Amino acid sequence: MPELPEVETIARSLREGAQGGVSLLGCHFTSVQVSWERSLATPSIGELEHRIIGRCIVDIGRRGKFIVFSLDRDWLVFHLRMSGDLRVEPLIGDDHLIKPLGPYDRASFTFSEGVRLVFEDTRKFGRIWLVDSVDRMMSNLGPEPLDPVLTPEIFHQRLKSRHRQIKPLLMDQSFLAGLGNIYTDEALYLARVHPLRRSDSLEFPEAELLLSAIRQVLRQGIKSNGTSIDWVYKGGSFQNTLQVYQRTGESCRRCGTLIERIVVGQRGTHFCPVCQVLDPQ
């Protein structure tokens, strides 16, 4: 958490401005402050400051779970991991004093336009990069699930080339970029695929249906501004339509069977034992 829909929502809000907020497009960096050095994966704090001051934000997008700021030179990249968040706030408040950073604010970037971008991360798992090639940095990421280049035929071939349980494989960012626990559970339920099925056991119609289900839940998640189920991410409404995730012991909305929870790949996994049958392989 956050997953693709939440990261897409954050990137969109930074790019377009959310609820009357400020868009960061066209803003110029004037200073950098890093309060927890390990939040910065690369480069050093000194080099970051040297390379980024004076740079302008040209675009803000997403690759997998990464938020990517395209600058007029270089790329500034954030990965929020478990508890990271980005917020934009004015430099000067009503009392005409610069608001101090909070105890969980790990880095801040100020702009000549009178705002700053703050990276907040309670658990300290998130990371920041300034790189000269975002493609090289993310060369190990799998395809984007919403990219039309990923056809059902290609997706089926990729499933067949692995002999892994389907749930951990879909969450493997080198196989498919952006999926996490929530949307994987929801997509597998929608496609009626048991989370323990071996990927190479899926026939083409099943793979085609699964890809369609992945895209459906991701698009619904983006439309709903993501899923808000804890203190980490707020503002989404997809939690109101969850079919299996965190519904252990509740009735399946399709067949009435109680939703079960197991651990797959060290992750809590929710499914309907009737709608998602594990065929013997």
- Phi then psi for 246, rounded to 5 degrees? 55, 30
The answer to whether residues 35 and 107 touch, using CB atoms and an 8 Å cutoff, is yes
- Encoded amino acid at 144, one letter: E
Task: Please name every residue paired with 270 in a beta bridge, in sequence order, or none if there are none.
Answer: 261
Distance, in Å, from the CA atom of 126 to the CA atom of 117, rounded to the nearest integer, reads 15
- Encoded amino acid at 14, one letter: L
Which residues belong to the active site? Answer: 2-3, 65, 267
Which 3 state secondary structure label does DSSP give 203? coil
Distance, in Å, from the CA atom of 121 to the CA atom of 125, rounded to the nearest integer, reads 7
The answer to whether residues 197 and 165 touch, using CB atoms and an 8 Å cutoff, is yes
Q: Output the CA–CA distances (angstroms, integers) from residue 255 to 6, 205, 212, 273, in the order listed.
A: 30, 22, 21, 10
Which residue carries 């868009």 as its tokens? 23
The answer to whether residues 169 and 207 touch, using CB atoms and an 8 Å cutoff, is no
Q: Output the CA–CA distances (angstroms, integers) from residue 165 to 7, 205, 230, 264, 265, in the order listed.
A: 26, 18, 28, 9, 9
Which residue carries 């009357």 as its tokens? 20
Nearest to 28 by CA among 69, 84, 85: 69
